[in-house]
Amino acid sequence: MTAAPGTAFPLPEPSRESVISVFTIPAITWTLTAVLLLSGCYYSLQAAKSRQRTDRINKALHALMNVLMAAMLWNLVPSTMLAQIAVLSGAALWFVIQAVARPEFMTLCASGQGRVKCVYHSLSMAGAALMIAMMTPGSSPGNTSASAAVTPVSHAHHGMAAVNNSAAATAATDPTPMLAMLLTVCFGAAAVVFLVMLVRGRAIRSPLHTASSRFFNRSEHALEALGAMVMALMFATMTA
């Protein structure tokens, strides 16, 4: 059927499964990929060298999360999204269990600072799982806009009005941008905290800490800060 002159049909809106494609500048995408993969390699080496089973599991989970985040930037293996969400959700639960464990379980998060770290690591795992869930098809508005292309010309203006109203109502009730903004603020604040801890660690010279332990702590804080900044940046792309 030939469209009447002057009749305009709305174009389909992009879905949230391609939200990470906003990194259209190759330098940004490759930089984030390099940071995530290097962090994954570091945690893998730490997991291999660790003598405690709990610490080995924690490092391995961090390595896995970084690899999955790097794959997310390139939309790799989308068929395994449900498995990725399940694994990351299980990892988040694992860190929650450590955070609420009794003090006598010394291999878990027994100290106050350790519990805070486990809570943050649980939030990181849950945030990564939530990010993957936000990118799954059908999790965002925009599916109804394609139906306007097959609307009869005689009812084109009625069809477009209905589609626009439906899209506006769905966008108004979609909690994704608000949730993404909240997580952006949380991980941005976490990045600032880790940077402050990194600077304080450089300034403090305690005889109780050897040079190797100070280097290890600085490396941990630097990686945590980088990871939090990457999470904040990726969630920031979902606020629009």
Stated as kind and residue range, the H or E segment containing 23 is: none
Question: Given 3-state DSSP classes, what are the helix, strand and coil percentages for the chain, each rounded to the nearest 5?
Answer: 75, 0, 25
Distance CA 28, CA 234 (A): 11
Q: What's the pTM?
A: 0.74
Average pLDDT over residues 153-175: 49
pLDDT in tens, 100-116: 887 766 667 766 677 88
At 4, the pLDDT band (50, 70, 90 cuts) reads low
